[in-house]
């Protein structure tokens, strides 16, 4: 897998492009994180396909420039073909098709979630199979990763993702967004034992997760802690600490169960912002017995390098897509997985 | 204008309401779900979608649409849209989300509908408010057709 691959990603807020040679990241451009946006007068992520269309060419050009390569020195073009917002995905796929048609280079459609799930292979060369806790934006699932196209979903959230729970708890408590860092900062002065928040779904077998009921519990704790209509600073810190503790304990226990479901796993990898939370990271590191790893955050948020890497693995397997590559707004990694039923709140009561 | 108000003491009560409401919805209906964070909007929407799917085979996961903004589902040939407009910066983005096209054709379950520039005509207004351990829910329909359906809903809920 020493091919030079251009990766294009535009399935949500960010427009991104990257060039990879083997495991070496030659460039990794994300429109919201570079001075590219200076040309547009703001960093505000835009959902509009129009914004992706405007930025895609610039991102690709910038990625090639930083890699000091021309299009003709690239071996293949990988692009996110779903899941995501249809407008953005379509813009990316059209851009990639245009480049492939003009250059004659192979075109490879990549599942956005596969990009995230294969990132530990890019950063740490982890052998298959491994356990992946994938926490990306609105997604949260445990996957056994068997190959570039082989994913078994062992469980996931039946309602909110953990990052979303942090954002919403921050909103409930009047803290800044993004909620992860704000809650973590506030929790430092708090007593996690001050509130007994539920450990959602621990009473249920398997490794499904639910965070919606925890959010409701935080809402109640907030309303019960009000003094003259205001939330005392100490109560806010205690709620944050207890909430964080509940998320950490739940994720760690569910990870243990997920690992028990795939004893052949060579490693336990976490991709996503939650691994940046020290309390959660500490809890997940202790899960064992296999090595724990968390790729750097820049490679866990949406980026082109992960798409290029997944494309590189698929290229090595012989995958080539034609001009009929279709954007897929919904594209489960494991189409055979049973749907998750049941109410998070029911579990949260236990 | 017809409306009804219920107290939902626990998630099971919400599930019963969703199960009774789901079969009364038709393609083209818009259901606007209002209420603060944690009021139970997503839970109700999830149960409505799953209740529609249950008789027709595959029941799907219905994760929160907060980050994805719009998720689409299908049951028996009817498309269902679950949208959370909280993150919407400008109503012009609605067109990009495909919501404009879907309204009037699919069953649209819309959270944070105050982000819409123009409210869909003849939409069912559902408002959830936390109260004690449960939630108070108000369901209001603007015309005679909704009045008739809400009376059937009352019947299905046993009063």
Structural contact between residues A277 and A296, judged by C-beta atoms closer than 8 angstroms: no
Structure confidence at residue B123 (pLDDT): 94
pTM above 0.80, yes or no: yes
Name the residue in chain B with its Cα closest to that of A159.
B63
Indicate whether B152 belongs to any domain: no
Structural contact between residues A292 and A267, judged by C-beta atoms closer than 8 angstroms: yes
What is the token pair recorded at B59?
A: 């029941």
Residue B107 sits in a domain whose CATH number is: 3.40.50.300
Name the residue in chain B with its Cα closest to that of A49.
B96
Instruction: Give the residue numbers spanning the domain of A15.
Output: 4-119+299-316
Q: In sequence order, what E strands does A22-103 have?
A: 24-30, 76-82
Indicate whether B153 belongs to any domain: no
A210 and A275 fall within a common domain: yes
Indicate whether A107 belongs to any domain: yes
Structure confidence at residue A349 (pLDDT): 24
A311 and A293 fall within a common domain: no
Contact yes or no for A212 and B67 at CB 8 A: no
A139 and A284 fall within a common domain: yes
Q: How many CB pairs under 8 A join A and B?
A: 94
Q: How far apart are CA A211 and CA A312, in angstroms?
A: 35
Structure confidence at residue B38 (pLDDT): 87
Indicate whether A334 belongs to any domain: no
> How many domains, in total, are found in chain B?
1
Contact yes or no for B67 and A339 at CB 8 A: no
Structural contact between residues B83 and B109, judged by C-beta atoms closer than 8 angstroms: yes
Structural contact between residues A31 and A16, judged by C-beta atoms closer than 8 angstroms: yes
A87 and A106 fall within a common domain: yes
State how far residue A322 is from chain B, nearest Cα, in angstroms: 26
Instruction: Give the residue numbers spanning the domain of B70.
Output: 2-146
* Chain A residues near residue B11 by CB distance under 8 angstroms: 343, 345-346
Structure confidence at residue A35 (pLDDT): 45
* Chain A residues near residue B50 by CB distance under 8 angstroms: 341
Indicate whether A324 belongs to any domain: no
Indicate whether A51 belongs to any domain: yes
Residue A98 sits in a domain whose CATH number is: 3.30.420.40
Indicate whether B138 belongs to any domain: yes
A95 and A240 fall within a common domain: no
Contact yes or no for B67 and A137 at CB 8 A: yes
A67 and A158 fall within a common domain: no
Name the residue in chain B with its Cα closest to that of A141.
B63
Indicate whether A322 belongs to any domain: no
Structure confidence by residue, pLDDT tens digits, B64-98: 888 778 888 999 999 999 999 988 777 777 776 77
State how far residue A302 is from chain B, nearest Cα, in angstroms: 13
Q: How far apart are CA A142 and CA A146, in angstroms?
A: 13
Q: Which residues of A touch B (CB under 8 A)?
A: 12, 44, 46-50, 84-87, 137-139, 156-161, 164, 167-168, 171-172, 212, 215-216, 218-220, 223, 329-330, 339-341, 343, 345-346
Structure confidence by residue, pLDDT tens digits, A50-76: 778 888 999 999 999 999 999 999 999
Q: What is the dihedral of CA A219, A224, A225, A231, to 10 degrees?
A: 60
> How many domains, in total, are found in chain A?
2
State how far residue B61 is from chain A, nearest Cα, in angstroms: 5
* Chain A residues near residue B70 by CB distance under 8 angstroms: 85
Q: What is the pLDDT along chain A (350 residues), one digit of tens a residue?
A: 789 999 999 987 789 999 999 999 999 999 864 444 444 433 344 556 777 888 899 999 999 999 999 999 999 999 999 888 778 899 999 999 999 999 999 999 999 999 999 999 999 999 999 999 998 666 789 999 999 999 999 999 988 888 889 989 999 999 987 888 999 999 999 999 999 998 887 778 889 999 988 998 999 999 999 999 999 999 999 999 999 999 999 999 999 999 999 999 999 999 887 888 899 999 999 998 999 999 998 898 889 999 999 999 999 999 999 999 999 877 888 877 755 544 332 222 22
Structure confidence at residue A346 (pLDDT): 28
For residues B63 and A35, the model is more confident at: B63
Contact yes or no for A86 and B98 at CB 8 A: yes
ipTM: 0.80
Question: If you write DSSP's letter for every residue of A176-191 in order, what string do you get?
Answer: -SSHHHHHHHHHTTS-
* Chain A residues near residue B37 by CB distance under 8 angstroms: 168, 171-172, 215, 219
Structure confidence by residue, pLDDT tens digits, B2-19: 999 999 999 899 999 999
A91 and A237 fall within a common domain: no
Establish whether the linkage from the previous residue to B150 is cis, with ω within 30° of 0: no
Indicate whether B11 belongs to any domain: yes
Structural contact between residues B146 and B9, judged by C-beta atoms closer than 8 angstroms: no
A91 and A154 fall within a common domain: no
A46 and A108 fall within a common domain: yes
A137 and A218 fall within a common domain: yes
Considering CB atoms only, which of A48, A139, A212 is closest to B43? A212
């Amino acid at each position: 897998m020493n091919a030079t691959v251009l990766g294009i990603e535009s399935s949500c807020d960010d427009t991104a492009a990257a060039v990879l040679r083997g495991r070496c990241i030659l460039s990794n451009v994300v429109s919201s994180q570079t001075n590219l946006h200076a040309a547009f007068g703001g960093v505000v992520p835009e959902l509009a396909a129009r914004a992706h269309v405007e930025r895609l060419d610039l991102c690709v050009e910038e990625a090639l420039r930083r890699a000091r390569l021309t299009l003709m020195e690239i071996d293949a073009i990988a692009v996110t073909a779903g899941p995501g917002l249809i407008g953005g995905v379509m813009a990316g796929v059209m851009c990639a098709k245009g480049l492939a048609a003009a250059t004659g280079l192979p075109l490879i459609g990549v599942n956005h979630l596969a990009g995230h799930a294969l990132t530990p292979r890019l950063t740490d060369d982890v052998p298959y199979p491994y356990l992946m806790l994938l926490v990306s934006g609105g997604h949260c699932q445990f996957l056994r990763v068997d190959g570039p196209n082989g994913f078994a979903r062992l469980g996931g959230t039946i309602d909110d993702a953990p990052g979303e729970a942090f954002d919403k708890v921050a909103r409930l408590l009047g803290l800044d967004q993004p909620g992860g860092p704000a809650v973590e900062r506030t929790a430092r002065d708090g007593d996690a034992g001050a509130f007994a928040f539920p450990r959602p779904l621990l009473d249920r077998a398997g490794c499904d997760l639910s965070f919606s009921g925890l959010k409701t519990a935080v809402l109640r704790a907030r309303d019960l802690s009000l003094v003259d209509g205001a939330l005392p600073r100490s109560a806010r810190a205690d709620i944050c600490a207890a909430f964080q503790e509940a998320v950490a304990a739940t994720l760690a226990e569910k990870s243990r169960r997920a690992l028990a479901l795939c004893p052949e796993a060579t490693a336990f990898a976490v991709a996503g912002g939650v691994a940046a939370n020290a309390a959660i990271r500490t809890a997940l590191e202790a899960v064992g017995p296999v090595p724990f790893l968390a790729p750097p955050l820049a490679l866990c948020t949406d980026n082109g390098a992960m798409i290029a890497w997944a494309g590189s693995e698929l290229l090595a397997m012989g995958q080539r897509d034609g001009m009929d590559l279709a954007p897929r707004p919904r594209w489960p990694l494991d189409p055979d997985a049973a749907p998750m039923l049941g109410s998070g709140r029911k579990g949260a009561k236990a | 204008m017809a409306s009804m108000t219920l107290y939902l003491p626990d998630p099971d009560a919400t599930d019963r309401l969703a199960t009774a409401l789901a079969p009364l919805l038709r393609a083209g209906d818009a259901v606007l779900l209002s209420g603060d964070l944690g009021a139970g909007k997503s839970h109700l929407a999830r149960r409505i979608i799953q209740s529609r799917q249950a008789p027709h085979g595959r029941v799907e996961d219905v994760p929160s649409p907060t980050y994805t903004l719009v998720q689409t589902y299908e049951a028996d040939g009817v498309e269902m849209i679950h949208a959370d407009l909280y993150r919407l910066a400008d109503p012009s983005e609605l067109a990009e989300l495909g919501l404009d096209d879907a309204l009037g054709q699919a069953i649209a379950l819309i959270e944070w509908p105050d982000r819409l520039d123009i409210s869909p005509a003849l939409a069912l207004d559902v408002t959830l408010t936390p109260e004690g351990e449960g939630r108070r829910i108000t369901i209001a329909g603007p015309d005679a057709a909704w009045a008739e359906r809400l009376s059937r809903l009352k019947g299905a809920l046993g009063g």
